[in-house]
Amino acid sequence: MSRLDGKRVAITGAAGGLGTPVARMLREAGAHVTGIDRMECSACDASIVTDLSDDTQLATLADRLAGDCPDVLVNVAGVMRFGLHESQPIEALALCYRVNLLVPAVLARAVAAPMRARGTGQIVNIGSVLGAIPYPWFAAYSSSKAGLAALSQGLRREMMGTGVAVTHINPRAARTGFNNSEVNRFLEVTGMKADAPDWVAGRIVAAILARRETVSIGVMERIYAALNAISPQIIDNGLAGQIRKARAEFC
């Protein structure tokens, strides 16, 4: 496995429950890490404090990354929406799609040309297994992460033969503050697994170091994702019991 000695890495969401261990492990692998978040990132060498939900600040960040392009861009920042889709405020849906899909697309656009010109680089997008297995009560989150998977695949094909890698990683739920009390209760009621953040971060960093294309964490999750792509009805039937339990709890 290669290291990142001397490489410059920019990571969004670096102050979060998953971003922090990812940033720490990237530094341990030799990288100089710049964290991008709404607050200083203690695990990073440097911080860019910005609000990704603001158009002007996002444009300024994109210009900065285009002009001083990192060797690796890691898009970790995300927004979770939980609950019946009909109950979601429009502004909450807009924020979910913006941070989970638009922001990675804008930042990938900013670094793609300079990375291509250099003949080297890596764009890393952190998705979710819920993007491959869309779950009820997570319709907006699932669809935003499904869009991120498509963005990653299309960009990877654009970059073929240029020396620029595009890595897309689908973790399961992690035990971080990203999950509110309702999400944690949903995980409990449905029996869904939540992983330790350091373990997830280790898998993410390993995929970055190996310049993997697509990584989905969890054997059964990979099987369910394949089945959902081939025959969604099978997954519908498999989820029926979980849906009944969730309706009793949340409807």
Buried b (16+ CB within 10 A) or exposed e, 194-203: bbebeebbeb
Copy the structure tokens of residue 100: 């989970």
| Active-site annotation holder among 97, 145, 193, 245 | 145
- Write phi, then psi, for 163 (nearest 5 degrees): 90, 0
The question of whether 7 is a catalytic residue gets the answer: no
| Active-site annotation holder among 7, 135, 141, 224 | 141
The question of whether 145 is a catalytic residue gets the answer: yes
Catalytic residues: 141, 145
